[in-house]
Amino acid sequence: MLLFWPVVIPFFTAVLTLLAWRSPEIQRGLSLMGAFALLASALAIFSHTLNYGPVAAQAGGWDAPFGITMVADALSATMVLLVGVVATAVILFSFSDVTREEEHFGYHPLTHALLAGLGGAFLTGDIFNMYVWFEVMLIASFGLLVIGGQPNQIAGAIKYVGLNLIATVAFIAGVGLLYGTAGTVNMSDLHNVLNGREGDSVVTASAAFLLFAFASKAALFPLFFWLPASYHTPSFSTSAMFSALVTKVGVYALFRVFSLVYDIEGSILEPILLWGAVLTMAFGVFGALSQSSVRRVLGYTIIGSIGMMILGFAVGSRLAVAAGVFYLFQDVLVKAALFLSAGATARLTGSELFARSGGVWRSRPFFAVVLLIPALSLAGVPPLSGFWPKLMLVQATLEQGSWFLAFATLATGFFMLFAVARVWSAVIWSAHPDGDRAITRTLDGPTWAPLVSLTLLVIFIGLNAGNFVDLTLTIADQIIDPTAYLTAVLGEPK
């Protein structure tokens, strides 16, 4: 039952917030309590998996591979824990960010439906069920994108939904092919059934469909255009939730499916993934350099970071996979912190355009420091959390003798630093166009609390890197050799 809480709690919160639609205050209270309950359940799952290894639960008591299985190994459990952390931070931040009108039209129920979809997608051990959770997320995120009713939100949402619908159709086509050829949709069972059938054209075709689906969810080159077109249009809370978690689902699904179901080593998909990752890094950072508003720059840095994670996975050695996983984990916190501080900055300066903002350093130096830390972590400055996975990735690529990939990693880090420095100088350092007295607003408690706690977490991960490297190496072992996962789902092999 433990594994169902990350789905049940957000759905239950969505029910309660829908019924309490008359009062925004009650909605907020319920929403925050739901987020804390989700965080508590995620912590319970995380500690259980760390102590006892992967666990599985069968819905309705139907044993795998016949029923729907929920599985938590260290990767899933950590992702669910991050969902809990980001959900709490974002919902707290939303109290002073989301407008009354957006709350009236269902911001809180939709956010919790999105969280339920995330929890389900991270925990399911069944590929068709994963498709269902993707749909839950798609519907909820479409609602959240258009909730303000602005014309640019509708334009962004159409691109978002357009590509995502194509991706889900590809997803279901791939799952259909798999079911047709293997007769099962349980990922552990698929691992056993497909063993030795890597060369089959049906298997390769289904893998290509799923790669397309996950790559467009994760905004991999060349399927990334929808992300910068839509992530800067909704409220900052929603942007933070999307950039921290929703794109990461695509990365997680790639990690999970292409290690457990398919063996991509030596197949035609391996170079596609590798060069797709390198091009994604390049387009991400150069795109970030070409933009002139805060969230658009951050949107492109998401793409650059996604490229790094996929590169780690595509290189495939133990250290490289661990680097990709580490990057994935810390990027969730960094992106949440950056998008929330972009919201706070825009509230202070009145705009998120470079040309219309500035002067934060002179009037709010402490806030500028809080913003600086995740920004430097994104750029990979030691000893912050973003530095360690880059170091691991460079080391892993050099171990394999691929100088080019090591160079690409370092160059991406350098340009990321450049992009962050541009934001810093335009928004924080330069004078406000309306003069030094332009910033009169102050930030309230619900804004400070998530910003400071996320920043402290980023510092904490950076300073405790040893423990996190150990955790990600364990996860990399589980990804490379999924025996423990298979045993948790199917029982001891006979």
Query: Among residues 145 and 457, whose Cβ is nearest to other proteins?
Result: 145
Interacting positions 90-109 with other proteins (CB under 8 A): 106, 109
Q: How big is the chain, counted in residues? A: 494
Query: Among residues 57 and 80, whose Cβ is nearest to other proteins?
Result: 57
Buried b (16+ CB within 10 A) or exposed e, 63-73: ebbeebbbbbb
Q: Is 21 in the site for other proteins (CB under 8 A)?
A: yes
Residue type, position 195, single letter: N
Q: Which residues contact 371 (CB under 8 A, 6 or more apart)?
A: 338, 341, 344, 345, 360, 428, 451
Of 351, 342, 256, residue with least CA distance to 302? 342
Beta carbon of residue 85, minimum distance to other proteins (angstroms, whole number): 24
The correct pick among 6, 11, 174, 490 for binding other proteins (CB under 8 A) is 11
Report CA Rg, the chain. 21
Beta carbon of residue 70, minimum distance to other proteins (angstroms, whole number): 8
Query: Among residues 104 and 197, whose Cβ is nearest to other proteins?
Result: 104
Query: Among residues 61 and 151, whose Cβ is nearest to other proteins?
Result: 61
Query: Counting Cβ atoms within 10 Å, is residue 404 exposed (0-12), middle (13-18) or buried (19+)?
Result: exposed
Beta carbon of residue 434, minimum distance to other proteins (angstroms, whole number): 37
Beta carbon of residue 69, minimum distance to other proteins (angstroms, whole number): 12
Query: Among residues 12 and 36, whose Cβ is nearest to other proteins?
Result: 12
Beta carbon of residue 146, minimum distance to other proteins (angstroms, whole number): 12
Q: Is 65 in the site for other proteins (CB under 8 A)?
A: no
Return the ∠ at Cα 72 (arms to 213 and 397), rounded to 5°. 60
Binding segment toward other proteins, per CB under 8 A, in 58-66, 251-259, 346-354, 376-384: 58-66
Of 76, 113, 108, residue with least CA distance to 95? 108
Q: Cis before residue 109, ω within 30 degrees of 0?
A: no
Task: Please check whether residue 234 is in contact with residue 147, taking contact to mean a CB–CB distance below 8 angstroms.
Answer: yes
Q: Is 142 in the site for other proteins (CB under 8 A)?
A: no
Quickly count: other Cβ atoms within 10 Å of residue 435's Cβ: 9
Q: Is 61 in the site for other proteins (CB under 8 A)?
A: yes
Query: Among residues 123 and 334, whose Cβ is nearest to other proteins?
Result: 123
Secondary structure (DSSP) of 342-354: HHHHHHHHS-SBG
> What is the SS3 assignment for 191-253?
HHHCCCCCCCHHHHHHHHHHHHHHHHHCCCCCCCCHHHHHCCCCCHHHHHHHHHHHHHHHHHH
Cα separation of 237 and 359, whole Å? 23
Q: Which two tokens stand for residue 185?
A: 């949709």
Beta carbon of residue 88, minimum distance to other proteins (angstroms, whole number): 21
Query: Among residues 39 and 146, whose Cβ is nearest to other proteins?
Result: 146
Cα separation of 253 and 346, whole Å? 33
Q: Is 15 in the site for other proteins (CB under 8 A)?
A: yes
Helix (H, G, I), strand (E, B) or coil at 55: strand
Of 447, 87, 152, 171, residue with least CA distance to 293? 152
Q: Is 4 in the site for other proteins (CB under 8 A)?
A: yes
Beta carbon of residue 56, minimum distance to other proteins (angstroms, whole number): 12
The correct pick among 30, 39, 55, 57 for binding other proteins (CB under 8 A) is 57
Q: Is 492 in the site for other proteins (CB under 8 A)?
A: no
Backbone torsion region of residue 430, taken as left when φ is above 0, otherwise alpha when ψ lies between -120 and 50, otherwise beta: beta
Q: Is 151 in the site for other proteins (CB under 8 A)?
A: no
Q: Is 1 in the site for other proteins (CB under 8 A)?
A: yes
Q: Is 33 in the site for other proteins (CB under 8 A)?
A: no
Task: Please check whether residue 229 is in contact with residue 160, taking contact to mean a CB–CB distance below 8 angstroms.
Answer: yes
Beta carbon of residue 21, minimum distance to other proteins (angstroms, whole number): 7
Size of the site for other proteins (CB under 8 A): 17
Q: Which two tokens stand for residue 484?
A: 């423990």
Cα separation of 176 and 111, whole Å? 30
What is the sign of the dihedral through the CA atoms of 494, 483, 39 and 11? negative
Q: Which two tokens stand for residue 398?
A: 């050099």
Query: Among residues 15 and 44, whose Cβ is nearest to other proteins?
Result: 15
Query: Among residues 17 and 243, whose Cβ is nearest to other proteins?
Result: 17
The correct pick among 51, 52, 60, 437 for binding other proteins (CB under 8 A) is 60
Binding segment toward other proteins, per CB under 8 A, in 51-59, 160-168, 322-330, 381-389: 51-59
Beta carbon of residue 390, minimum distance to other proteins (angstroms, whole number): 41
Task: Please check whether residue 210 is in contact with residue 256, taking contact to mean a CB–CB distance below 8 angstroms.
Answer: no
The correct pick among 8, 43, 279, 484 for binding other proteins (CB under 8 A) is 8
Cα separation of 106 and 140, whole Å? 10
Q: Is 307 in the site for other proteins (CB under 8 A)?
A: no
The correct pick among 29, 48, 53, 58 for binding other proteins (CB under 8 A) is 58
The correct pick among 43, 59, 410, 417 for binding other proteins (CB under 8 A) is 59
Residues that bind other proteins (CB under 8 A): 1, 4, 8, 11-12, 14-15, 18-19, 21, 57-61, 106, 109
